[in-house]
Chains A and B, each alone.
Chain A
Amino acid sequence: MAIDATRNSELNVRIVSRRSTGKMKRYLRPVIAVAVPLAIWQLAANMGWVNSFLFPAPWAIAKALWVQAGPHGNPPYAVLYSLLHSLWRICAGVGLALVFGTLIGLAIGLTGWGRAIFRPIISIILPVPTLAWTPVLLLVFGIDDRTTITVVFIAASLQIIYNVVAGIDTLNLRVFWVARSMGASRMQIFIKAIVPGIFPYLLTGLRLGVGFAWRALIAAEMLAASSFGLGLMISNAVEYLNMDIIFGGIILIALMGCFFEYVIFGWIEMKTVKRWGVQVER
């Protein structure tokens, strides 16, 4: 989902007149926009305008996170371990989803038997909210990493399959004809015509998949994580009423989400735009 709509060309009329402030607008304004409310929140907490137990000040949140991330946390290095566990689960789930999702997507898009087998199964699974599987998976695997990883896998693979199939459906048939008439083998057609054709769609699927998977993972961890995990961290903090940890965890979850969305996929997009002409749909 794009926040910056690409269609602001019509609005250039207004922007041109203020071009001198363009740089300030791009870099400084977001910082101010985030910093000022935080400062007000801090001030309000210091002055006692808000209940600083329920809404701890940003500085207190940062301090609590820092302590919990260090050797004096309870357990030691709790925040770091939680972060790493969440990262491991999302990487494992999305990695599996990338492999199986792409294969299933290719099978549906390219082969008759794949379409016959997987299409109905996918269309049954697709409308089910991913998290509804959690209790079933808890029965199958118990409170275990496999439960959370499977939730991530389901969330991510559906997006990947969907987009790979869409990519194959929109492939230009003429590319096949050209390749075949020039004597390309099936393998060559696959590598030279199909792979580059579906690559942008695969990337879109991956991006959407990671977004969905991250949302699903946090909720799944709240319900079913065994040891560490950001979701478990904030849901455990409820029992001890550690509001600073809850807020800190939410901020970390948001930052990690931004990291996947803007940094990693921004980077992939930058790298691939030149080579493949890929413009990932946000």
Chain B
Amino acid sequence: MAPILVVLLLWEWAVRAGLTGSHILPAPTAIVARGMALLSGADHHVLLVHTWRSLLRASAAFVLAVMVGVPLGFWLGRDERAYSWVRPWLALLLPLPAVAWTPIFLVTLGQGDVTIVAVCFLGAVFPVLISTIQGVRAIAPQNIWVVRSLGAGPLGVFLRVLIPASLPTLMAGFKLGFAHSWRTLVAAEMLAASSYGLGFMIFAAREYMDVRTMFVGIVLLAALGFAFEHLLFGSLEAVTVHRWYRRGQRR
């Protein structure tokens, strides 16, 4: 933490000393001041609205990705034959940036929330899907045989073997999926947002050369992304994975 503070202080000093143009790189205090101004009532709390809309879009895309990716992943992870048919498509689509879909959605769905959520969904669904497949495929069939021979039905196998055993990779997939959703969101909002959203705010501020607003957006994007990845999903990981595995060890 201390080194980061030093960097911030140096940055502030460099801008005040006139070493960098403040029209390109504003001082940290100027960014904070601008952020406070955007939060205040004078600007109709516009920053809150931008952030809220971005969060809504990213979460909607992420939830959809989980709803599609996890069941599909469990199926493909269990069904060897289906997986061998779908694999070429996954290999083709995986290196394709989700943002590349934006033009299609722009033409078919127009500008706005639906397009943005669709693009972010495509960004998030592949990490979730592939982590799920990997997690399920990594389960040794012996585990399933044991539980089955002890009299468990398909539901029992699912609840007692598949879910607990694939949970660590599943959680890693969720984390990655949200990170992808969040990162794709910025680009999608710049391209397709008609109002509100942090990406939209940054891109709109460019037209007025409003660097401080742009940096407020960048800082918020970074901070929120960091918070979600490390605090939310980190603690989720800790709670679920560690508890289940520790309990398993004790038995």
Contacts and interface: CB of A to CB of B under 8 A. Distances in A.
Interface of A: 1-5, 7-8, 10-11, 13-15, 25, 29-31, 33-34, 54, 116, 119-121, 123-124, 127-136, 138-140, 211, 214-216, 218-219, 222-223, 231, 234-235, 237-238, 241, 243, 246-247, 249-250, 253-255, 257-258, 260-262
Contact of A250 (B84, B90, B104): B104
Contacts of A10: 140-142
A223 B206 CA distance: 12
A234 B103 contact: yes
Given A124-B4, A128-B222, A243-B107, A215 B138 contact: no
A32 to B, nearest CB: 8
A163 B7 CA distance: 23
Nearest to B199: A132
Interface residues of B, number: 64
Sort A-B residue pairs by CB-CB distance and give the 5 closest, nearest first.
Answer: A257-B95, A215-B97, A120-B3, A30-B88, A254-B96
Contact of A219 (B99, B107, B108): B99
Interface in B175-192: 182-183, 185-187, 190-191
B87 A3 contact: yes
Contacts of B102: 222, 235
Contacts, number: 173
Contacts of B127: 1
Interface of B: 3-4, 6-7, 23-24, 80, 84-104, 106-108, 127, 130, 133-134, 137-138, 140-142, 182-183, 185-187, 190-191, 199, 202-203, 205-206, 209, 211, 214-215, 217-218, 221-223, 225-226, 229
B190 A131 contact: yes
23 contacts: A3-B130, A7-B138, A11-B80, A33-B87, A54-B108, A120-B4, A129-B183, A129-B185, A129-B187, A131-B186, A134-B190, A135-B205, A136-B215, A139-B23, A139-B214, A140-B24, A219-B191, A222-B99, A222-B103, A223-B191, A235-B102, A246-B104, A250-B103
Contacts of A132: 186, 199, 202, 217-218, 221-222
Contact of A241 (B87, B93, B107): B107
